[in-house]
Amino acid sequence: MTAAPPRAWRLVEPSALPGFGPALGFTLAYLSFFLLLPLAALVLRPWEAGLDHVWGVITQPRTIAALQLSFGAAFVAALINAVFGTVVAWILVRYEFPGRRLLDAFVDLPFALPTAVAGISLAAIYAPNGAIGSLFAPLDIRIAYTPLGVMIALIFVGFPFIVRSIQPVLEDLHVEVEEAAATLGATRLRTIFTVVAPAILPALLAGFSLAFARAVGEYGSVIFIAGNLPNVSEIAPLLIVIRLEEFDYAGAAAIGLVMLAVSLLMLLVLNVLQGRISRRGRA
């Protein structure tokens, strides 16, 4: 009896659903046209003016201050949203109360509201003569036209990402799990840290990544409340626009390239951390 011929190696196991080749080709073409080509142009454009010009642009004190404000305010805003967004998601999932559906709809308001309208509204509210800004004016605390105003605008635009990332996980985390921990003698605080927190942590990191990425490149809702003072409240996207208005396309691309590199690095770190936490939870 002769042995069966060796099985040929396959890169992809056969599927009951046909069409892998066309689907893969469409995916690669779509990503190349709408993602890879713009990124390639951003990477190549700064070097047209030479390395000295690129280095001079990204090392200017004004550029460094704008990048520090954009990334610093985005990171702090994402941290604040991570705390309060988790609380809001918990309330929407775990409790029934009048107006819950209306509150749930309000969470998505930053998605639907045009960014320019949001910026004008925030500037009007937090200005020294605004409804909230006037309360802090006697204390000599200015919100609008300061880095604090920038952070408030970024909190506004990033808040829904945290809530919508955590909410489905909490809905799948049945109350019976928490009740079982309570019957075993766990306090409410211990139940939160040993049962709830490990379950929602990967989703929380995903929401944090989305909120941070959105806040770093936000322009419309920030431009009206920032004040746009160089070295004080000027954000990096505005500095890119200023470079474009000066027809310094290489300089604008150089700032964008720095933002892209730092954002990718931080997102990579967060994704690796999220993957390790998810694998540890399954183990």
Question: Model confidence over 29-61: pLDDT tens digits?
Answer: 888 888 888 888 888 888 888 888 889 999 999
pLDDT tens digit string along 205-222? 999 999 999 999 899 899
pLDDT given for residue 6 in this prediction: 52
Query: Alpha helix locations (H) across 113-196?
Result: 115-126, 133-136, 147-172, 175-183, 188-191
Structural domains of the chain sorted by starting position, each given as residue range(s) with its CATH number in brackets: 50-282 (1.10.3720.10)
Round to whole Å and give the CA distance between 104 and 89: 9
- For residue 65, what are its two tokens? 């201050």
pTM for this one? 0.85
Angle at 258 between CA 228 and CA 31, to 5 degrees: 110
Q: 219 — phi, psi (to 5°)?
A: -130, -55
Residue 100 burial (CB count, 10 A): 13
